[in-house]
Amino acid sequence: MKRVYFLLAFSAFGWNAYGQKTIDQKVAELLSKMTLEEKVGQMVQYSGFEYATGPQHSNSAAVLEEIKKGKVGSMLNVAGSEETRSFQKLAMQSRLKIPLLFGQDVIHGYRTTFPVNLGQAASWDLGMIEKSERIAATEAAAYGIHWTFAPMVDIARDPRWGRVMEGSGEDTYLGTKIGLARIKGFQGRGLGSLDAVMACAKHFAAYGAAVGGRDYNSVDMSLRQLNETYLPPFKAAAEAGVATFMNSFNDINGIPATANQYIQRDLLKGKWNYKGFVVSDWGSIGEMVPHGYAKDFNEAAERAIQGGSDMDMESRVYMAELPKLVKEGKVDAKLIDDAAGRILTKKFEMGLFDDPYRFSNEKRQKEQTDNQENRKFGREFGAKSIVLLKNQGNILPLSKTTKTVALIGPFGKETVANHGFWSIAFKDDNQRIVSQFDGIKNQLDKNSTLLYAKGCNVDDQDKTQFAEAVETAKKAVVVIMTLGEGHAMSGEAKSRSTIGFTGVQEDLLKEIAKTGKPIILMINAGRPLIFNWAADNIPTIMYTWWLGTEAGNSIADVLFGTVNPGGKLPMSFPRTEGQIPVYYNHYNTGRPAKNNTDRNYVSAYIDLDNDPKYPFGYGLSYTDFKYSDMVLSSASLTGNQALNISVTVSNTGKYDGEEVVQLYIRDLFGKVVRPVKELKGFQKVFIKKGESKKVEFKLTPEDLKFFDDNLNFDWEGGEFDIMIGTNSQNVQTKRISWSK
Q: Which residues are catalytic?
A: 281
Q: Does 154 bind ligand GLC (CB under 6 A)?
A: no
Phi, psi of 651 (to 5 degrees): -90, 100
Provide, rounded to whole angstroms, the least separation between the CB of residue 248 and ligand GLC. Answer: 8
Q: Which is nearer to ligand GLC, 76 or 558 (CB)?
A: 76
Q: Which is nearer to ligand GLC, 125 or 492 (CB)?
A: 492
**C-alpha–C-alpha distance, residues 385 and 570, integer Å:** 11
Name the DSSP letter for residue 128.
Answer: H
Q: Does 282 bind ligand GLC (CB under 6 A)?
A: yes
Phi, psi of 527 (to 5 degrees): -155, 165
Q: Can you name the residues that pair with 649 across neighbouring β-strands?
A: 627, 693
The number of residues that bind ligand GLC (CB under 6 A) is 9
Question: Of residues 473-492, which lie at the interface with ligand GLC (CB under 6 A)?
Answer: 492
Q: Is the CB of residue 321 less than 8 Å from the CB of residue 302?
A: yes
Pairing mode of beta strands 657-667, 678-687: antiparallel
Which one, of 253, 254, 336, lies nearest residue 301 by Cα? 336
Provide, rounded to whole angstroms, the least separation between the CB of residue 268 and ligand GLC. Answer: 18
Name the DSSP letter for residue 411.
Answer: T
Question: Of residues 348-377, which lie at the interface with ligand GLC (CB under 6 A)?
Answer: none
Among 66, 125, 228, 281, binds ligand GLC (CB under 6 A): 281
Name the DSSP letter for residue 565.
Answer: -
Provide, rounded to whole angstroms, the least separation between the CB of residue 136 and ligand GLC. Answer: 14
Q: Is the CB of residue 558 less than 8 Å from the CB of residue 621?
A: no
Question: Of residues 707-736, which lie at the interface with ligand GLC (CB under 6 A)?
Answer: none
Q: Can you name the residues that pair with 311 across neighbouring β-strands?
A: 279
Q: Which is nearer to ligand GLC, 105 or 251 (CB)?
A: 105
Q: Which is nearer to ligand GLC, 121 or 440 (CB)?
A: 121
Burial readout 239-278 (b: 16 or more C-beta within 10 A, e: otherwise) = eeebbbbbbbbbbbeebbbbbbebbbeebbbeebebebbb
Pairing mode of beta strands 387-391, 540-543: antiparallel
Whether the upstream peptide bond of residue 205 has omega within 30° of 0, thus cis, is yes
Q: Which is nearer to ligand GLC, 279 or 541 (CB)?
A: 279
Q: Does 76 bind ligand GLC (CB under 6 A)?
A: yes
Q: Does 105 bind ligand GLC (CB under 6 A)?
A: yes
Q: Does 146 bind ligand GLC (CB under 6 A)?
A: no
Q: Is the CB of residue 542 less than 8 Å from the CB of residue 565?
A: yes
Provide, rounded to whole angstroms, the least separation between the CB of residue 143 and ligand GLC. Answer: 16
Q: Does 173 bind ligand GLC (CB under 6 A)?
A: no
Pairing mode of beta strands 478-484, 519-524: parallel
Question: Of residues 174-203, which lie at the interface with ligand GLC (CB under 6 A)?
Answer: 202
Provide, rounded to whole angstroms, the least separation between the CB of residue 433 and ligand GLC. Answer: 22
**C-alpha–C-alpha distance, residues 707 and 699, integer Å:** 18
Among 42, 45, 53, 553, binds ligand GLC (CB under 6 A): 53
Q: Is the CB of residue 582 less than 8 Å from the CB of residue 499?
A: no
Q: Does 219 bind ligand GLC (CB under 6 A)?
A: no
Provide, rounded to whole angstroms, the least separation between the CB of residue 106 and ligand GLC. Answer: 10
Q: Which is nearer to ligand GLC, 105 or 511 (CB)?
A: 105
**C-alpha–C-alpha distance, residues 557 and 440, integer Å:** 8
Q: Which is nearer to ligand GLC, 202 or 419 (CB)?
A: 202
Among 46, 124, 149, 560, binds ligand GLC (CB under 6 A): 149
Q: Which is nearer to ligand GLC, 94 or 309 (CB)?
A: 309
Among 10, 14, 25, 54, binds ligand GLC (CB under 6 A): 54
> What is the Cα Rg of the chain in Å?
27
Provide, rounded to whole angstroms, the least separation between the CB of residue 336 and ligand GLC. Answer: 24
Question: Of residues 287-326, which lie at the interface with ligand GLC (CB under 6 A)?
Answer: none
**C-alpha–C-alpha distance, residues 683 and 322, integer Å:** 50
The residues binding ligand GLC (CB under 6 A) are 53-54, 76, 105, 149, 202, 281-282, 492
